[in-house]
């Protein structure tokens, strides 16, 4: 083909609106990927746990908790995402760049899939809004620097919805079966993906697709077989699925009515939170995070939520049965989630569907008044203004979130944590046993067995003396060598470190060595003495920390890390205590 003909073909391709919007989505996604890129894998307990399981699978050890003594079979994380990551681990180990590339490709692919899914029901511009609600979502953009499952879960979920819609349009059973396989695979990515299976089965039942319903039953049977093959019988008594609210009460032998009453009492507060804050936040995040809650804001939030639910009802008559059931099932599943610091992560994959059905309501409302010429232009102007407000709000909030997180201080905190883990790996025995509320990031970076300090998960943390005493008792009962408190966890939970150390001094009257590294939010490492041993001024860790601090260049927003060492002991033993914040002489 001659060059002019190729040029004309390229220009003809670009004249298509779908091609232009697809390119626009890719450019916007690439800009956000570049903006959020970091030269490391951000520490994350869930993300690093997936990397640990990927290592286990790639080594042929099975699906095991490598960080625990005895390496038991893992049951708390589904195996689908670690299985995919294991192929990357075989090639690149824990190097960050291949994982960033994989997450970025899935991120951009999900945006394209969402655009074409929305094009099944809308014109080009509303479809772009649906895709942009995912691309510009602050949590999704941020996760391109991690290996969390929200992005791959969204890719396979919306890929399945798109293939199912195409299969129904083309009357292709093969496409529908592929879509069902993609939906079933979502259950291997996140445990709350299980709620998608009843939605899919109900959609097939309503449409009387008996053949596809039978195939779905076979796929579910295959899924259960794979789960038991990977997790073994431990899935029954230790598995996360059977520990969900309401299920565990029935499994314990309680009456169904009592279990249902307990279920509704526990989750009733989540309904108000979902209606007033969590659903509207997925459309206009600044509305929730920037402006204080008042009567006007609550009214606007309720109107947005009612618009989403109205769109779901209207969608039943627009050939959108499966997307409606999917959103309904996922919202019902999210009602069982406690209000913790990670609740926004759970809602992030639902954001495109929430935007989709809000647009359905806006379109149908506009159609109702189009026959009135006086109001048509006004309504059209309002719709365009709201659509640009949605784009602007998502973009501004994404930039605000990036400015809050991607600062020299935040980057310094990550480097501080990596330095601490490097010193632990270098200066502790290979069989040293650690304890931490974030065990997976520590194991990945140190290779040391690390137990979990069970602290719970809450939105507003209240560190009572009873709770702190329970945490100190955990430290005493685990027979560990070191307790490690990650700096990002301390900042996230606003942990009462002083109160915890008071309880720790009561549990260990002989004293505990504490060495901290970093500023202004240090990583704290507590050396737990064995019976009869003496404190040795933070042992070998302090010297390694000081060497790391000397090697780090300091700057005004991110000064060189500070190293502090002190003994935590009961007040009755002042000879063993040094409560000053300055380093002690070795």
Helix (H) or strand (E) holding 15: helix 3-15
pLDDT value of residue 218:
96
The answer to whether the beta carbons of residues 537 and 552 sit under 8 Å apart is: no
- What is the percent of the chain where pLDDT is above 90? 36
Statement to judge: residues 434 and 527 lie in one domain: yes
**Phi/psi of residue 309, nearest 5 degrees:** -65, -35
Instruction: Report the pLDDT value the prediction gives residue 13, as an integer from 0 to 100.
Output: 52
- Same domain? For 547 and 414 the reply is yes
458, part of any domain: yes
In angstroms, the CA 439 to CA 450 distance is: 5
Residue pLDDT, tens place only, 14-38: 457 788 899 999 999 999 999 998 8
pLDDT band at 573 (very low <50, low <70, confident <90, very high): very low
Answer yes or no: is pLDDT of 584 > 50.
no
Is pLDDT at 519 greater than 90 in this prediction? no
**Sequence-distant (≥ 6) Cβ neighbours of residue 484 within 8 angstroms:** 420, 424, 434, 435, 436, 442, 450, 523, 524, 525, 526
The reported pLDDT for the residue numbered 586 is 30
Q: Name the least confident of 84-93, 394-403, 458-467.
A: 458-467
Task: Return the percentage of the chain with pLDDT > 70, whole number.
Answer: 81
- Region at 388 (left for phi over 0; alpha for psi -120 to 50; beta for the rest): alpha
Taking only the tens place, the pLDDT of each residue in 376-428 is 777 778 888 888 988 999 999 999 888 888 666 677 888 888 889 999 998 88
Say yes or no: 227 and 87 in one domain.
no
Its domain, for residue 189, covers 150-243
Please report the pLDDT score of residue 570 as a whole number.
57
Q: Could you tell me the sign of the dihedral formed by the alpha carbons of 414, 416, 417, 422, in that order?
A: positive
Q: What is the pLDDT of residue 250?
A: 47
Q: What is the pLDDT of residue 550?
A: 81
Give the global pTM. 0.87
350 in a structural domain: no
- Total structural domains within the chain: 3
211 found inside a domain? yes
Confidence (pLDDT) at 100: 94
Burial (0-12, 13-18, 19+ Cβ within 10 Å), 479? exposed
φ, ψ of residue 234 in degrees (nearest 5): -60, -20
* Residues 83, 185 share a domain: no
Structural domain contains residue 166: yes
Tell whether 437 and 531 lie within a shared domain.
yes
User: What pLDDT is recorded for position 579?
Assistant: 38
Q: What is the mean pLDDT of residues 453-464?
A: 64
Same domain, 82 and 190: no
Position 583 pLDDT exceeds 50: no
86 shares a domain with 155: no
**Average of per-residue pLDDT across 76-91:** 92
pLDDT at 49: 93
Which residues is 524 bridged to in the sheet? 485, 516
For residue 156, pLDDT beyond 90: yes
In a domain, 376, yes or no: no
Examine the pLDDT at 74 and tell me if it is beyond 90. Answer: no
Tell me: pLDDT of 528 over 80. Answer: yes
Q: Are 562 and 518 in contact (CB under 8 A)?
A: yes
Q: Are residues 80 and 193 in the same domain?
A: no
Higher-scoring residue by pLDDT: 338, 207: 207
pLDDT confidence of residue 293: 66
If you write DSSP's letter for every residue of 536-567 in order, what string do you get? -TTHHHHHHHHHHHHHSPP-SSSPPPPEEEEE
**Residue 534 vs residue 121, higher pLDDT:** 121
Count other Cβ atoms within 10 Å, centred on residue 316: 12
Cα 483 off chain centre by: 25
The domain boundary residue, chosen from 75, 94, 113? 94
Which residue from 495, 502, 517, 511 is spatially nearest to 472, judged by alpha carbons? 502
Q: Span 250-278, mean pLDDT? A: 66
The residue out of 227, 243, 259 marking a domain boundary is 243
Same structural domain, 78 and 205: no
Q: Last residue of some domain: 209, 243, 277?
A: 243
More confident residue, 575 or 116: 116
pLDDT of residue 575: 45
Task: Give whole-number Cα distances, 82 to 47, 467, 586, in Å.
Answer: 10, 34, 44
Any domain includes 564: yes
Half-sphere exposure of 421 (CA within 13 A, CB side): 24
In a domain, 456, yes or no: yes
413 and 516 share one domain: yes
Residue 136: what pLDDT? Answer: 94
Say whether pLDDT at 458 is over 60.
no
201 burial level (CB within 10 Å; 0-12, 13-18, 19+): middle
Q: In this structure, is residue 140 part of a structural domain?
A: no
Task: Round the average pLDDT of the chain to a whole number and report it.
Answer: 82
């Amino acid at each position: 083909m001659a060059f002019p003909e190729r040029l004309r073909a390229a220009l003809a391709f670009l004249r298509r609106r779908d091609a232009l919007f697809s390119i626009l989505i890719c450019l916007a996604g690439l800009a956000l990927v570049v903006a959020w890129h970091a030269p490391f894998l951000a520490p994350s307990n869930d993300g690093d746990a997936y990397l640990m399981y990927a290592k286990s699978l790639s080594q042929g050890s099975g699906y095991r908790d490598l960080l625990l003594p005895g390496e038991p079979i893992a049951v708390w994380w589904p195996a689908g995402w670690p299985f995919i990551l294991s192929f990357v681990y075989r090639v690149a180990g824990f190097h960050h760049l291949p994982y960033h590339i994989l997450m970025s490709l899935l991120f951009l692919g999900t945006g394209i899939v969402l655009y074409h899914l929305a094009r099944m029901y809308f014109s080009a511009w509303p479809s772009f809004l649906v895709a942009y609600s995912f691309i510009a979502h602050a949590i999704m953009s941020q996760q391109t620097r991690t290996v969390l499952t929200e992005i791959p879960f969204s890719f396979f979920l919306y890929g399945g919805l798109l293939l199912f819609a195409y299969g129904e349009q083309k009357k292709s059973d093969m496409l529908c079966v592929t879509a069902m396989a993609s939906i079933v695979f979502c259950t291997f990515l996140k445990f709350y993906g299980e709620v998608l299976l009843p939605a899919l089965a109900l959609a097939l039942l309503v449409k009387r697709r008996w053949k596809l319903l039978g195939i779905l039953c076979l796929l579910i049977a295959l899924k259960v077989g794979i789960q038991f093959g990977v997790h073994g019988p431990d899935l029954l008594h230790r598995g996360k699925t059977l520990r969900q609210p309401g299920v565990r009460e029935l499994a314990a032998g309680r009456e169904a009515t009592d279990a249902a009453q307990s279920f509704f009492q526990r989750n009733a507060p989540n309904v108000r939170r979902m209606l007033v804050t969590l659903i509207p936040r997925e459309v206009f995040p600044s509305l929730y995070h920037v402006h204080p809650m008042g009567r006007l804001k609550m009214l606007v939030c309720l109107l947005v939520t009612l618009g989403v639910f109205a769109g779901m009802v209207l969608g039943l008559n627009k050939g959108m049965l499966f997307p409606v059931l999917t959103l309904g099932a996922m919202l019902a599943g999210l009602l069982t989630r406690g209000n913790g610091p990670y609740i926004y992560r759970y809602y992030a994959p639902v954001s495109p569907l929430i935007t989709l059905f809000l647009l359905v309501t806006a379109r149908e409302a506009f159609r109702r008044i189009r026959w009135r010429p006086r109001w048509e232009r006004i309504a059209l102007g309002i719709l365009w203004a709201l659509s640009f407000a949605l784009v602007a709000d998502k973009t501004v909030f994404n930039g605000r979130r990036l400015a809050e997180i991607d600062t020299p201080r935040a980057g310094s905190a990550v480097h501080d944590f990596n330095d601490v883990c490097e010193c632990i790996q270098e200066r502790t025995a290979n069989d040293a046993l650690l304890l931490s509320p974030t065990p997976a990031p520590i194991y990945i970076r140190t290779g040391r067995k690390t137990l979990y300090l069970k602290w719970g998960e809450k939105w507003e943390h209240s560190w009572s003396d009873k709770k702190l005493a329970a945490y100190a008792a955990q430290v005493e009962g685990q027979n560990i060598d070191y307790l490690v408190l990650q700096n990002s966890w301390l900042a996230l939970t606003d942990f009462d470190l002083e109160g915890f150390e008071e309880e720790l001094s009561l549990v260990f009257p002989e004293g505990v060595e504490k060495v901290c590294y970093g500023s202004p939010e240090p990583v704290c490492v507590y050396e737990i003495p064995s019976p009869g041993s003496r404190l040795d001024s933070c042992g070998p860790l302090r010297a390694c920390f000081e060497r790391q601090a000397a090697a780090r260049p300091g700057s005004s927003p991110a000064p060189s890390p500070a190293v502090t060492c002190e003994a935590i002991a009961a007040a009755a033993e002042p000879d063993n205590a040094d409560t000053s914040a300055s380093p002690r002489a070795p």
